[in-house]
Amino acid sequence: MDTRMTGHAYHFLQQAAAFAKRQPRKYLWERNSYFYAPAAHGSWQDFMNMVGSSLKGKYTIWGPVAATDGLEIDPLGPKPPVADPSQDSYQWGVGEEADLITFLPIFDVRKTKWVYPDKLWGVSRDLPRRTSPIAQWRLSRKLLNVMHRHTTDGAAVVSEMSGPTWAMLHGLKAVHVPQPIWIDGQWSAKELMSVVNPGEPEAVNGGADSFFNWDHKLDHIMYRLSYMFITQAAEDLYRRWLGYPPDMSQRTDEKIEKFKDPKGRYFYDEGVLNEERYGHLCFPPMWIHTIKNTAREKGPDRPVPVDDWFDETPAEVKNFED
């Protein structure tokens, strides 16, 4: 696996599960689509209040979502205690274990240019669906059984849509747990949140301007996050955490210009590790991904394969452009 933990995994996962258990179901799917930053959103309660205020008069998910493509589903999740979320005082779901825990936002893929929005088997494109990139989740036995049953019946979605989509269609509890994500860049929290949380309140990251669009317009941000489906920063951080020096060969590679984004900024490892002066690097507990090289001497694999992503436009993006 190309993920590492910079803290105690048991404690990290225990706290994630406890956080998810505390979350009410009211506006949960809508909150799940955001990146949360305390410096921009305030406390978690402030964030919940902001999301709730922005959703007044708008459609929100409340209980299982109907499979509008004709797929017959007998939802396994509990029925809402009241007919409308406006009648609930953020009580339903509190104390309920989450059937799905993710560590990146859960968003509607249907109008995005994410890599695999329409990779479906036995269902139509009309099927409501969600995804959370990097399929490293906690799933309940109930949700795993649901996914297995639908797959064996011939109805399936691509792996990173599987947990979120079937949880939504069955009315199961899914929670995006915000974890510490480091970014290499000089943005204020509010500036960054305006970029990574685009869209209408009921469909954040679910439109043509989604942060997760695979069109390379935001590579200079995406590639410098410590947890993303493709990024250089995670491996850089992990190698520096182990005390390895920067990879100077990246500066003299004949393809050096390929490491620049459209604004001329680099995303490769640089800087000076002066442990004699500053001490050993200390990180908070967090998942970091993508990491391809953990030995001092790097192998042939790279977390951001420059030849693949820059020399040619990915086929999926070409399909969207067509």
- State phi, psi for 120 to the nearest 5 degrees: -130, 155
Q: Which two tokens stand for residue 234?
A: 């995670």
Q: pTM (2 decimals)?
A: 0.88
Same domain? 20 vs 137: yes
211 assigned to some structural domain: yes
Within 10 Å of residue 299's Cβ, how many Cβ atoms? Answer: 9
Residue 300 pairs with which residues in a beta bridge? none
Q: Is residue 186 part of a domain?
A: no
State the pLDDT at residue 128: 96
Domain annotation covers residue 193: no
The one-letter code for the residue type at 50 is M
Q: What is the pLDDT of residue 187?
A: 84
In a domain, 183, yes or no: no
> How many beta carbons lie within 10 A of that of residue 258, not counting itself?
12
The count of C-alpha atoms lying within 13 angstroms of the C-alpha of 132, restricted to the half-sphere facing its C-beta, is 30
End-to-end CA distance of the chain: 34
Pair (57, 120) in one structural domain: yes
Inside any domain, residue 312: yes
Q: Are residues 226 and 97 in the same domain?
A: no
* Residue 69, pLDDT score: 74
Those residues with Cβ within 8 angstroms of residue 296's Cβ, 6 or more apart along the chain or in another chain = 244
What pLDDT does residue 254 have? 45
192 in a structural domain: no
Q: Is the same domain home to 135 and 269?
A: no
Q: Same domain, yes or no, for 13 and 159?
A: yes
Domain with 258, as residue range(s), is 201-321
pLDDT score recorded for residue 264: 47
Contact (Cβ atoms closer than 8 angstroms) between residue 101 and residue 20: yes
Distances (CA, A) of 120 to 104, 155, 165: 22, 8, 11
Q: Quick one: 94 and 238 in the same domain? A: no
Residue 35 lies in a domain: yes
Residue with tokens 């269902």: 123
Q: What is the total count of domains within the chain?
A: 2
Contact 30, 201 (CB under 8 A): yes
Contact in structure between 139 and 160 (CB atoms under 8 Å): no
> What is the Cα–Cα distance from 176 to 189, expressed in whole angstroms?
19
Q: Is the same domain home to 34 and 166?
A: yes
Q: Is residue 181 part of a domain?
A: no
Neighbouring CB atoms inside 10 A of 144's CB total: 14
Whether residues 15 and 83 share a domain: the answer is yes
State how far the Cα of 280 lies from the Cα of 261, in Å rounded to an integer: 31
User: Residues 205, 171: one domain?
Assistant: no
Alpha helices in the chain (DSSP H): 9-22, 28-32, 38-41, 44-54, 141-152, 159-170, 189-196, 219-222, 233-241, 249-252, 275-278, 306, 315-321
Pairing status of strand 174-176 against strand 100-102: parallel
Q: Are residues 157 and 277 in the same domain?
A: no
Where the chain has pLDDT below 70, the residues are 247-275, 278, 306-322
Compute φ and ψ for 149, nearest 5 degrees: -65, -45
Report d(CA 105, CA 82) in Å as an integer. 27
